A and B are shown apart, each in its own frame.
Chain A
Amino acid sequence: MRIFKKHLFLIVVLSANFAALIFLPQTGIKSIEFTLKNFMNFLFMLAPVFICIGLMDVWIDRETMVKLMGKNSNSKGILISFAFGVVTAVPLYALLPVAGMLLKKGSKISNVLIFICSSASIRIPLLLFEVSYMGWKFTAVRFVVNLFIVFAIAIIIDKNLNEKDKNEIYDNAYRL
């Protein structure tokens, strides 16, 4: 029963796929094809990310991380989180394990949010790519607007989390 509850999402999705295979075989087969193709892409993307966070776990001690991005890191912590975010050009799903590791090592939640938000919307390694396809004006406007939005989102969420919410997030990070 516990296993069932723990993997409810997986069970529901697998059943839906199974139903598609039976009732809409064309869609079902196509779905499985997409899933397999995406699985390879995801693995390819995630392998280096997980290697890096494993190394982070072993080599970076808590004190260092707390000093860099922890409670009293203030503006330096904000800057480091932002800089770390914008150079990390990976999709959201690959960012989350990194965020989990940052939390585990004692980074401030607002800093981790800045990291996630800045990395999702501003990816320096991809800027030239964006310019070449969308033009410099499109890229520049989005870049500047996103600068403000990243901090707006991080501040709004942080202000709405109480002590209990924050402790839950940290407890959770230890278990990952």
Chain B
Amino acid sequence: MSNIFSYYLYGIAVILLSISFVKNKSKTLIALKKSLKMFLNILPQFIAILFLLGLLLAAIPSDVIKNTLGENSSFSGILLSAALGSATIIPVIIAFPIASQLLQSGAGIVQIAVFISTLTTVGLITMPLEIKYLGKKTTYMRNMLAFLFSFITAYITGWALR
């Protein structure tokens, strides 16, 4: 997934780090220690999420994803696309090229749109992590609303592009 967008992030981090280092060495070291501590704090959750994602990806072959998004345009197909988008973590950098290919081969626009929306805004398997930062109530509400609103975005997109 090494793409230019992560490099852009690295660029920002390096620039900020250099400025900080020139301004105050000891403060910069404290910052780095804090970064590490905050990271280690959430590491167990991250590892759990990664193993869960690994299981999901191993259990759902990529063909299934392609078939779900590619075939029937019925409501159940759209619902299934939304479920897939909510449950998986695929970088959009990888998702857009796949989505565009599927569209060209006749996939429904609503499925594709709902898949992209849920993929980016609903994080079913990252929920334990989100709860750690935002608490249960906010996390449940945010994911539920994002899921519901993904359908609105998708239907409007489908209607505008019909």
Q: Which residues of B sit under 8 angstroms from A126, Cβ to Cβ? A: 5, 92-93
Identify B51's interface contact among A17, A121, A172, CB under 8 A: A17
Q: Which residues of A contact B (CB under 8 A)?
A: 7, 9-10, 13-14, 16-17, 20, 27-28, 30-35, 38-39, 41-42, 44-55, 57-59, 89-93, 96-97, 99-100, 103, 109, 113, 116-117, 120-121, 123, 125-126, 129-130, 133-134, 137-138, 141-142, 145-146, 149, 152-153, 156-157, 160-161, 165, 168-169, 172-173, 176
Contact at A149–B137, with CB atoms within 8 Å?
A: no
Most buried by A among B33, B52, B55: B55
Contact at B55–A20, with CB atoms within 8 Å?
A: yes
Which residues of B7-23 are within 8 A (CB) of A? 8-10, 12-13, 16-17, 20
A-B contact pairs, 29 of them (CB 8 A): A13-B52, A16-B51, A32-B54, A39-B50, A46-B39, A47-B10, A50-B39, A51-B17, A52-B12, A53-B35, A54-B35, A57-B31, A89-B9, A92-B123, A92-B126, A97-B133, A99-B133, A117-B121, A117-B142, A120-B120, A120-B146, A123-B92, A129-B96, A133-B100, A145-B152, A145-B156, A157-B142, A172-B133, A176-B42
Which residues of B27-41 are within 8 A (CB) of A? 27-28, 30-36, 38-39, 41
Number of interface residues of B (CB under 8 A): 77
Identify B46's interface contact among A27, A42, A109, CB under 8 A: A42
Contact at A58–B12, with CB atoms within 8 Å?
A: no
Q: Shortest beta-carbon distance, A166 to chain B, in Å?
A: 9
Contact at B50–A153, with CB atoms within 8 Å?
A: no
Q: Shortest beta-carbon distance, B115 to chain A, in Å?
A: 12
Give the nearest-CB partner of A18 in chain B. Answer: B51
Q: Shortest beta-carbon distance, B52 to chain A, in Å?
A: 5
| Given A53-B38, A97-B133, A161-B138; A149-B50 close (CB under 8 Å) | no
Contact at A93–B34, with CB atoms within 8 Å?
A: no
Per-position binary interface string of chain B over residues 79-95, scored 1 when its CB falls under 8 Å from any chain A CB and 0 otherwise: 00000000001011100
Contact at B42–A97, with CB atoms within 8 Å?
A: yes
Contact at A157–B141, with CB atoms within 8 Å?
A: yes
A130 to B97, CA, bound (A): 9
Give the nearest-CB partner of A45 in chain B. Answer: B6
A165 to B78, CA, bound (A): 34
Q: Shortest beta-carbon distance, A104 to chain B, in Å?
A: 10
Q: Shortest beta-carbon distance, B34 to chain A, in Å?
A: 5
A46 to B47, CA, bound (A): 13
A125 to B12, CA, bound (A): 14
